Amino acid sequence: MDFVSHQLFAESILTQLSKDPAYKVWANEPDLDLGDGTLLHRYRLHRFSAINEMYINSTDKPDTDKDAIALSIISHIYADTFNGFVFPYDITHPALQNPKIFWKLIQNPIKNINAMSDSSNMPLAFFMDSRTLFNEYSFGTTVEEAVASFINILSKRSGVNPCIGIETIVDFTNNIGYRTKNITDTTLFEEEYSTLVIKYLDII
């Protein structure tokens, strides 16, 4: 997912859950190493265990609400599965990408991957339609439910027990609410967002 879409996605969820939307800036923190030659970019800062490192090393961002920070960063990791692999646990357990978009990407990999990675390659209408779609869906009634839902999805796709990811966030936030059993099904959202992305990839 591109820079603008990550922030729009995080902003929508933060707002729905009565969190300060200013924390959306954390949604781009996992991409901090882009451009510095770091190998395995989607492993380096896309792991749940890297969240505390990002928190410690970041400056000039709101930093008092760790729940909002965790939500924004994990929304990034989840959203990146729409256009490729991520490694939320380790290099041997990738979370597989969304299959509908994957097949679209490999049809014209240079054009389509660039479009989904660089905001300047997509028209303004795409971001407007994306914001509308993001606002239509609920990813939980609390931050804890939303984060737990994303972790469960990523864990299922990578074949790892979600309790490992959940406990990492509990340690970071000191909030045991992430152990919730209430998990939101994102299947319909993923289908609709995939359709939206493919629509714009066809016309650019």
Q: What is the pLDDT of residue 101?
A: 78
pLDDT value of residue 35: 64
Q: Which residues of the chain have pLDDT under 70?
A: 35-39, 98
**Alpha-carbon torsion, ordered 77, 81, 85, 86, to 10 deg:** 10
Contact (Cβ atoms closer than 8 angstroms) between residue 89 and residue 50: no
DSSP 96: P
The SS3 of residue 86 is strand
Cβ(182)–Cβ(106) under 8 Å? no
pLDDT at 39: 58
The reported pLDDT for the residue numbered 84 is: 81
What are the residue boundaries of the structural domains of the chain, listed by start? 3-203
What share of residues in the chain are helix, strand, coil (percent, to 5)?
Answer: 70, 0, 30
Q: Which residue has the tokens 């299959």?
A: 99
Residue 173's contacts (CB-CB under 8 Å, 6 or more residues apart) are 66, 67, 70
pLDDT of res. 159: 94
* pLDDT score for 176: 96
CA atoms within 13 A on the CB side of 28: 17
pLDDT score, position 83? 81
Specify the pLDDT at position 103.
Answer: 77
